[in-house]
Amino acid sequence: MENHFPIRRIMDENGTIINSEYKEKVTEKLVKELYRHMVRIRTFDRKAISLQRQGRIGTYAPYEGQEASQVGTAAALGENDWMFPTYRDHGAAMTFGHSLRNILLFWNGRNEGCVPPDGKKIFPPGIPIATQIPHAAGAAFAERKKGTANAAIAYFGDGATSEGDFHEGLNFASVFKAPVVFFNQNNQYAISVPIEKQMNTKTIAQKALAYDIPGVRIDGNDIFMVYFETLKALERARKGEGPTLIEAVTWRYGAHTTADDPSKYRDQSESNSRRQETDPVLRLERWMKNEGIFDEKWQQAAEEEAAAEIDKAVAEMEDFPPADPAVIFDHVFAEPTWQIKQQKEEYLKLIGGGR
Amino acid sequence: MKTAVGAKTMTLVQAITDALDTMLNEKEEVLLLGEDIGRNGGVFRATDGLQAKYGDGRVIDTPLSEAGFVGAGIGMAVNGFLPVIEIQFLGFIYPAYEQIMTHASRLRMRTMGHFTVPMVIRAPYGAGVRAPEIHCDSTEAIFTHMPGIKVVCPSTPYDAKGLLIASIEDPDPVLFLEPMRCYRSAREEVPEGKYTVEIGKGKKLMDGDDVTVITWGAMVPEAMKAAKQMKENNVHCDVIDLRTLFPLDKDMIAESVQKTGRTVIVHEAHATGGVGNDVLAIINDTSFLYQKAPVERVTGFDAPVPYFGFEDHYLPTPARIKQAIEKVMKF
């Protein structure tokens, strides 16, 4: 099956475009935009880990190493498309326009963080594995019923493809030709379990065969491949041709979350060698250098701009008003039931009517 | 709330069809999703004729995939539709439990009202119709325990239609339980057109000053039989059909048990963790000092619902209910 589903790429590790049909499509403007986003989300990720270490946010799920997959997909989406991320896809969410402050609030235990900016159809992060996949199928089916050209994208990892909801979601979407892109980031570990213990199949893309939908296996660290393949899948969806499964093969350098230690279950020296060889940011940098458009001052400015934006978001997160206990009670139902009214009243009275 | 003109005599399952028909006609956002609900009209014919009338774009046969189509229903509800999902039997809802527990019931809370799930999940439930194994569960309590979803359970055609319309119009998810045993056991006049019965309100079926009998769903007729027999012995029961299991009608329960001071709770679900215990908690919280006897519960046993060859032994009967009424009277 690996032969049927080869890992496709547009750009190799050296930053050379090996598929000439894309040469014209890769413009300097596009590259710089993608690069800036990758730098931005990488800076965010490192900052968030540091905030967690300092006790300034809660447990955090890092994505460093997966930037091309997250930025490439998010950049391909249309303004009115739907995004169904997991807890490791806030890089994609912020690229699609989610508020950095709110993403930090989410990681700091606040419901306010799940609220996307107005008009942004970004679901809160899926926590139980694969459960967001049927939501994406349903939201996409709804767009089809409304007769729009909008689509949805669902993110999930390799382990998610073992869950029933993955199969039920793909089956549902394939039966109803829902305009949805199922975007798998195969980072090859589900917390500690490597992919060969997760599934008997050699690829995830081949699972598309069971639903008679296109399945493509791509290099998830090649941002050109991710971007153009996502665009293609979205276009297919918008034309009413149904869902696509994309397997983006990638690697997370760090831990599953800040609560675990990856050196317990894998040799972290592989992460170090991957940083040198297959890193998505470095690879795009190499392309720019090859093209002679890489400018260190521009790069430095991009990094500084990202750092400043993130520092501002951190300050906003930390200046955010403390948790208002009323929030616990006020959003269970549109109209609170008597139980909730009574519990709220008694609790607020106990703590003196406020915080 | 009534805007109806005219009435028709119908069974509970026909009243369900009538409610769905009324709402499909009234709101184009209403969609039905479920297994065999299209051409077949559902295993109980609750959606009979609706696909022919509204098309397969609105009355949608889904793959056999409870988690999948409940999950997809959440996505559709968030994206502007009002899905009414049929689960063939409550005993088959468990694959979707995760979708209901972790998403449908808490999306409003997670997003502070930004995303909401105005979705109804209909499920026939209960024993007593000689159905196969697992088709007879009465596990409402695992849903009433779940914050963020309402649980409704009518026992009559009139209430079934009015409560189903109210459930479809409710801005939050509702689990709508249909007692299979009552589907075709009785007929009553049901108004034509649209009307609602308020969620969260019980109904007094019989007035009496001696004992409060609190029940719902398929146990309503059984409790009424027992209460009528007790009346012949000059024991007068206040019989309440709760109709909604979350939120419970606290005021109606309190008012009645303060009047009688003696209570029998009847449900076919298992005793441990059953909704009856929440009724007991309401009695404790509101009416402790009015009680003249410990509250009795007549329930299914704490055993899995047995094969139908044994179900008559499992289900509460008028005899067991009468025994409990006599016990609280003698205390």
Residue A142 touches chain B, beta carbons under 8 Å: yes
Query: Topology of A20-320 in CATH?
Result: Rossmann fold (3.40.50)
Give the domain CATH number at B306: 3.40.50.920
Instruction: Compute the distance between CA of residue A242 and CA of residue A234 in angstroms, rounded to an integer.
Output: 9
Four-CA torsion A33, A35, A41, A46, nearest 10 degrees: -150
Residue A210 touches chain B, beta carbons under 8 Å: no
Let me know the angle formed at the C-alpha of B30 by A84 and B216, rounded to the nearest 5 degrees.
100
Contact A115 B147 (CB under 8 A): no
Would you say A57 and A116 are in contact if contact means Cβ atoms under 8 Å apart? no
Contact B78 A139 (CB under 8 A): yes
Element (H, E) at A152: strand A152-157
Spatial CB neighbours of A60, under 8 Å, sequence gap ≥ 6: A48, A49, A51, A52, A107, A257, A258
Mutate to test the interface with A, among B114, B144, B167, B201 (most CBs of A within 10 A): B114
Residues B118 and B180 in one domain: yes
When divided into structural domains, chain B yields a total of: 2
Annotated catalytic residue B135: yes
Distances (CA, A) of A346 to A353, B248, B279: 9, 19, 21
Instruction: State the complex-level ipTM.
Output: 0.95
Residue A141 touches chain B, beta carbons under 8 Å: yes
Residues B112 and B187 in one domain: yes
DSSP, collapsed to helix, strand or coil, labels residue B177 as: strand
Q: Which of the residues A252, A253, A283, A286 is marked catalytic?
A: A252
Mean pLDDT of all residues in B47-55: 98
Q: Which residue of A has its CA nearest to B99?
A: A131
Q: A184 has which bridge partners?
A: A156, A247
Residue A239 touches chain B, beta carbons under 8 Å: no
List the strands of the sheet with A180-186, edge to edge: A82-84, A152-157, A180-186, A244-249, A215-219
How close A167 comes to chain B (CA, Å)?
8
In-domain check, residue B179: yes
Residues B86 and B179 in one domain: yes
Which residue in A127, A139, A338 is closest to B79 by CB distance?
A: A139
Contact B74 A138 (CB under 8 A): yes
Instruction: Compute the distance between CA of residue B203 and CA of residue B212 in angstroms, rounded to an integer.
Output: 13
pLDDT per residue as tens, chain A (355 positions): 889 999 999 999 999 999 999 999 999 999 999 999 999 999 999 999 999 999 999 999 999 999 999 999 999 999 999 999 999 999 999 999 999 999 999 999 999 999 999 999 999 999 999 999 999 999 999 999 999 999 999 999 999 999 999 999 999 999 999 999 999 999 999 999 999 999 999 999 999 999 999 999 999 999 999 999 999 999 999 999 999 999 999 999 999 999 999 999 998 898 889 999 999 999 999 999 999 999 999 999 999 999 999 999 999 999 999 999 999 999 999 999 999 999 999 999 999 855 4
In-domain check, residue B243: yes
What is the model's pLDDT at position B4? 55
How close B203 comes to chain A (CA, Å)?
18
Contact A332 B95 (CB under 8 A): no
Phi first, then psi, for residue A114 (nearest 5°) are -85, -5
Q: Which of the residues A56, A167, A238, A265 is marked catalytic?
A: A265
CATH 3.40.50.970, chain A: domain bounds = 20-320
CA-based R_g, chain A, Å: 21
**Predicted TM-score (pTM) of this structure:** 0.96
Contact B102 A338 (CB under 8 A): no
Which tens digit of pLDDT belongs to each residue from B60-69? 999 999 999 9
In-domain check, residue B120: yes
- Return the closest-CA partner of residue B33 out of B69, B71, B80: B69
Contact B71 A339 (CB under 8 A): no
What is the model's pLDDT at position A270? 87
Interface of A with B in 74-133 (CB under 8 A): 82, 111-112, 114-116, 123-124, 127-128, 131, 133
Residues B140 and B237 in one domain: no
- Return the closest-CA partner of residue B324 out of B234, B230, B238: B230
- Return the closest-CA partner of residue A339 out of B249, B274, B101: B249
Q: Which domain holds residue B254?
A: 203-330
- Biggest CA-to-CA distance, chain B: 60
